[in-house]
Amino acid sequence: MRRRDLALLPAFALSAPALVRADERRTLTIAVQKISNSNTLETPREQSNVGFRLSPLYAEELIGTNWTGDMGRRPLLATEWRRIDDRTVEFELRQGVKFHDGRTMTAEDVAFSIGGARLFGTGQARTAGTGITAGQDSLEPQPEVLAVARRTFPGLERVEVVREGVVRFVNRTPDVTIEGRLQQNVGVVLSQAAFQGSQNWLAWARAPVGTGPYRIAEFRPDQSLTFEAHDDYWGGRPPVRQIRFIEVPEVSSRLNALFAGEVDFATDIPPDQITAVERNARFEALGSAINNIRIIVMDKNHAVLRNPLIRRAMTHAIDRQAIVDSLWAGRTEIPRGLQLEFFGDMYIQDWDNPAYDPAEARRLLREAGYRGEPIPYRGLNNYYVNQTANSQVLVEMWRAVGLNIQFQMMENWSQIQEPGPTRAVRDWSNTHVFSDPVGSLARAMAPGGPLQRNGEWSNEEFNTLSRELESSTDMGRRRVVFRRMLEIIEREDPGYMVLHTAATFIAKRRDIAWRASRGWPMDFRAENLSFGA
Say if residue 443's pLDDT is above 50.
yes
Q: What is the pLDDT of residues 461-507, one digit of tens each?
A: 999 999 999 999 999 999 999 999 999 999 999 999 999 999 999 99
- Give the separation between CA 68 and CA 161, rounded to whole angstroms: 32
Q: What are phi and psi of 412, to 5 degrees?
A: -155, 175
Q: What are phi and psi of 463, to 5 degrees?
A: -65, -40
Say if residue 345's pLDDT is above 90.
yes
Distance of alpha carbon 389 from the chain centroid: 23
- 170, β-bridge pairs: 88, 158
- The total of other beta-carbon atoms located within 10 Å of residue 496's CB is 23
- pLDDT at position 129 is 42
- pLDDT at position 522 is 97
Burial class (CB in 10 A: 0-12, 13-18, 19+), 157: middle
- pLDDT at position 1 is 35
What's the rounded mean pLDDT across residues 503-514?
Answer: 97
What's the rounded mean pLDDT across residues 124-128?
Answer: 42
Say if residue 10's pLDDT is above 60.
no
How would residue 21 be classed by pLDDT, with cut points 50, 70 and 90? low
Q: What percent of the chain is predicted at pLDDT more than 70?
A: 93
Q: Which of 305, 365, 293, 338 shows the shortest CA–CA distance to 489?
A: 338
- pLDDT at position 533 is 59
What's the rounded mean pLDDT across residues 150-163?
Answer: 96
CATH superfamily of 34-215: Dipeptide-binding Protein; Domain 1 (3.90.76.10)
Say if residue 22's pLDDT is above 90.
no
What's the rounded mean pLDDT across residues 291-315?
Answer: 98
Say if residue 519's pLDDT is above 70.
yes
Q: What is the pLDDT of residues 62-109, one digit of tens each?
A: 999 999 999 999 999 999 999 999 999 999 999 999 999 999 999 999
- The total of other beta-carbon atoms located within 10 Å of residue 196's CB is 17
- pLDDT at position 122 is 75
**CATH code, 289-502:** 3.10.105.10
Task: Please provide the average confidence, as pLDDT, over all residues in the chain.
Answer: 93
Q: What is the pLDDT of residues 239-280, one digit of tens each?
A: 999 999 999 999 999 999 999 999 999 999 999 999 999 999
How would residue 14 be classed by pLDDT, with cut points 50, 70 and 90? very low
- Calculate the alpha carbon distances from 450 to 37, 53, 198, 491 in Å: 15, 20, 29, 20
Q: What is the pLDDT of residues 194-236, one digit of tens each?
A: 999 999 999 999 999 999 999 999 999 999 999 999 999 999 9
- pLDDT at position 123 is 55
b/e for 448-464, b at 16 or more Cβ within 10 A?
bbbbbebebbbbeebbe
Q: What is the pLDDT of residues 306-338, one digit of tens each?
A: 999 999 999 999 999 999 999 999 999 999 999
Establish how many alpha carbons lie within 13 A of residue 11's alpha carbon, considering only the half-sphere containing its beta carbon.
Answer: 0
pTM of full prediction above 0.85 = yes
Domain ranges of the chain: 34-215, 228-288+504-531, 289-502
Written as one letter, the residue type at 303 is A
- pLDDT at position 3 is 36
Say if residue 19's pLDDT is above 80.
no
Q: What is the pLDDT of residues 67-80, one digit of tens each?
A: 999 999 999 999 99
CATH superfamily of 228-288+504-531: Periplasmic binding protein-like II (3.40.190.10)
Q: What is the pLDDT of residues 170-184, one digit of tens each?
A: 999 999 999 999 999
What's the rounded mean pLDDT across residues 353-380?
Answer: 98
- pLDDT at position 138 is 76
Say if residue 11's pLDDT is above 50.
no
Say if residue 18's pLDDT is above 50.
no
